[in-house]
Homo-oligomer: A and B are copies of this chain.
Amino acid sequence: MVPASPSAARLNWIKNSVEYVRSNIQAMDGYTPGEQPQGGKFIKLNTNENPYPCSPKVKAAIGRVCQTGLQRYPDPAATAFRRQLCELLTGELPDISPEWILCGNGSDDILTIITRTFVDTGDVIRYPNPSYVLYKSLADIQGAEVDVANYQSDWSLPPEFSEPQDRLKLALLANPNSPSGTIVPAAAVAEIADALPCPLVVDEAYVDFADANCLALVAENEKIMVTRTLSKSYALAGLRFGYVVAQPQIISELAKVKDSYNCDALSIAGATAAIEDQAWLAENRAAILATRERLTNELRSLGFECVDSQANFVWCRHPRHDSAQLYRDLKSVGVLVRYMNYPHWGEGLRITVGTDDQIEAFLAILHPLLH
């Protein structure tokens, strides 16, 4: 069985690897996250990060864990965070207890856990278009098929989003949606969940920048799972922490699928401190919303078509300028925005709400590009 030489073995394996790697993995390209330059001076408005540093209480909590030491495994259930979150959410969801919450290594981890719990090879996942492009990757990795329903022109969901279908095992709805920043009202989400033959994830990654949310629906319909992240509104994209709220019988199934220690000791402590500091959140949110309004108005005055946003970004395109060209021109002078081109929908630019200074610099650079 020993091959003649390492290079012979290598050639043999390259041939065989096509056979050994699951066909769905071979076929996929993999999810490409927004550019994350590790250095250089960019005005970074491409991945919906919060432009402000997190609450100083987060740093203090992380420092305390460092003092205690990192040699022990973390609490596999992230109990401290779940208890604190119950205090925060009990006004909107009086039934909530820690058994209604599962924590994850970012809400991407939560979405992965949910997919693996409900969706088998050959099953179907439904989501709208255009939306979070990760949903396609989750389906590809799981060997599932996708059923994509285009948003209507007013950014409401089409009737087919709610319709039964063979092998449909999970529906995903980013709400507020990316890239549009639009929101489907809770009453409409409740109707969709009732009609669907499968569980519905309401992905509320951006909900702290919106006027409403779907949390209360979790008590009324066990098919609804609300996922959230601390990456955006708590300025903790670097920490990786998210969670899902669902009824306890659902959480207990999801808990079987997560890695035992999926949240580290630093992120549990940091996330708990972050949600304790609601004064920080209120102040940060107010700043982002004020800049969002200013950015939207300025873009419109430059001729862009902008969607009213309930998130920390603005989706726009210019009737007389190519979005891809604008993206490249901006990048060449150190401004990163997100260029997106969705099949059966079209292209546009998604611009993260930065600081006032960043948005002013961005607009100053953008202006001459349009002439």
A90 to chain B, nearest CB (A): 17
A319 to chain B, nearest CB (A): 32
CA distance A147 to B116 in the complex (A): 22
The answer to whether A215 has its CB under 8 Å from any CB of chain B is no
How many identical chains are in the complex? 2
CA distance A17 to B224 in the complex (A): 12
Question: Do the beta carbons of A222 and B22 come within 8 Å of each other?
Answer: no
Residue of B2, B47, B117 near A194 (CB, 8 A) is B2
Contact residues in B for A109 (Cβ distance below 8 Å):
259, 262
Q: Which of A240-293 contact B (CB under 8 A)?
A: 240, 247, 249-250, 253, 255-257, 259-267, 270
The answer to whether A208 has its CB under 8 Å from any CB of chain B is no
Contact residues on A (Cβ < 8 Å of other chain), bracket? 35 or more
The answer to whether A342 has its CB under 8 Å from any CB of chain B is no
Contact residues in B for A260 (Cβ distance below 8 Å):
31, 33, 108, 134
The answer to whether A366 has its CB under 8 Å from any CB of chain B is no
Whose C-beta in chain B lies nearest to the C-beta of A192?
Answer: B1
CA distance A191 to B121 in the complex (A): 33
Question: Do the beta carbons of A261 and B106 come within 8 Å of each other?
Answer: yes
Residue of B13, B51, B267 near A264 (CB, 8 A) is B267
CA distance A237 to B75 in the complex (A): 11
Can you list 23 A-B contacts with CB-CB less than 8 angstroms, sorted by A residue number?
A: A1-B194, A9-B220, A13-B247, A20-B118, A20-B199, A22-B118, A22-B119, A25-B256, A30-B255, A52-B71, A54-B69, A54-B70, A70-B237, A73-B237, A105-B240, A105-B262, A108-B259, A108-B261, A109-B262, A120-B121, A121-B121, A238-B265, A266-B267
Report A's interface with B, CB cutoff 8 A.
Answer: 1-3, 6, 9-10, 13-14, 17, 20-22, 25-26, 28-31, 33-34, 36, 38, 44, 47, 49-54, 58-59, 62-63, 65-66, 69-76, 79, 105-106, 108-109, 112, 116-121, 134, 141, 143, 169, 191, 194-195, 198-199, 219-223, 231, 235-240, 247, 249-250, 253, 255-257, 259-267, 270
